[in-house]
Amino acid sequence: MRIDNRENDQIRNMKITNNYLMSAEGSVLIEMGNTKVICTASVEDSTAKHLKGTGQGWITAEYGMLPRSTATRKIRDSSRGKIDGRSMEIQRLIGRSLRSVVDMGKLGERTIWIDCDVIQADGGTRTASITGAFVAMVEAMKWMQQKQMIKELPVKGFVSAISVGVVGGERMLDLCYYEDSRAQVDMNVVMTDKGEYIEVQGTGEESPFTANDLTALLALAAEGCTQLNKVQREITGDFK
């Protein structure tokens, strides 16, 4: 048994609260165990500079952690005057993960801004952000459809993400912070509901890992993402 009494192949208790904020076109609170992230999607009636005149839209993301989302206070990026490297990496990951399943031509020359704000961190903040941001994005697109800005939802599939790793010689799904900080192998996997990989980030933290480890961890991640897709679909419906 793990520190929170889960089986190795069991995700943490998951909950997505839709329409979490009253102003955003799409917004959710996603909870994965003790990790909690507010994800919003805002519609802007202009596209990215490099796409102007092409008829195509854009999806971009920003990510941040509130000062007391962690055990000790984290300094705000605004106080430092720049975004830290980790946050920059994660927001780029969120953006490209969502763009991979959207038909930008059907979106038109508009931008959907995704904001992921971590209010409590206990491991897996980037993966929870991707899973929650997808739902917020689809809800914003439904708003666009209601406003007759688009004829149909320009989404080709679901996107979710989960962490896997090797901790104490055991392969585990959905690592909390305690497990992640002690992992010999740490991996984040972003997938579609068709079993396709969008991104795999894997690191041998203490030692190299084998092809067998990689295969087993990817299979474990696929099981987790299937469960996440089910919860996403309960909110968004099946739009395909």
Binding site per annotation, positions for phosphate:
86, 124-126
User: What's the DSSP call for residue 49?
Assistant: G
Task: Quote helix, strand, coil % in the chain, to nearest 5.
Answer: 30, 30, 35
Q: Are 24 and 40 in contact (CB under 8 A)?
A: yes
Residue 75's CB is within 10 A of a number of other CB atoms, namely: 9
How many angstroms separate the CA atoms of 48 and 190, rounded? Answer: 24
Phi, psi angles (nearest 5°) of residue 36: -135, 130
How far apart, in whole angstroms, are the C-alpha atoms of residue 186 and residue 182?
A: 9
Binding-site positions read 86, 124-126
Copy the structure tokens of residue 166. Answer: 């090797």
Distance CA 157, CA 103 (A): 10
